[in-house]
Amino acid sequence: MLKGLLDNISEARTADIAVAFIKENGLSRILPRLEDAASKGAKIRIITTLPNNAFNEPSALRLLTNLQKRFGSFETRVSRLNHFHQKLYLFQRLGSAEGYLGSSNLTQEGLESEGEINIK
């Protein structure tokens, strides 16, 4: 999963990520690519939930907020849904698109574990 995300972010004109949980250990795996893509004008949108549970880390949300402040093409949103549990990654490149739908949150385990299942 991680390699696919890294490859897609590098070439993306747009990246839309909807995940229930974000941890700094997962975000840090793709953060340099997100920064690079945003610096080149790629539109990046991430939606997640508030850190009111044991999974989302406030530090990860602060990193996303800082990216939003640095890059006008970067957007972070928080879902108001009581049960937001999506895991969707969509990327548009010039002339093509690719997406992943499955069980991987934006955590180290979600991106690198063999216990996750995703469809490309």
DSSP reduced 3-state for 102: strand
pLDDT at 56: 80
pTM > 0.85: yes or no: yes
Q: Is 109 exposed, middle or buried (0-12, 13-18, 19+ CB in 10 A)?
A: middle
pLDDT digits (tens, 9 = 90+) for 8-57: 999 999 999 999 999 999 999 999 999 999 999 999 999 998 766 667 88
| Percentage of the chain lying above the pLDDT 70 cut | 97
Per-domain boundaries in the chain: 2-113
CATH of 2-113, one of 3.30.870.10, 1.10.260.40, 2.160.20.60, 3.40.50.720: 3.30.870.10
pLDDT digits (tens, 9 = 90+) for 85-117: 999 999 999 999 999 999 999 999 999 998 899
Torsion angle (degrees, nearest 10) of CA 60, 41, 17, 74:
40
Classify the C-alpha dihedral 89-9-23-17 as positive or negative. Answer: negative
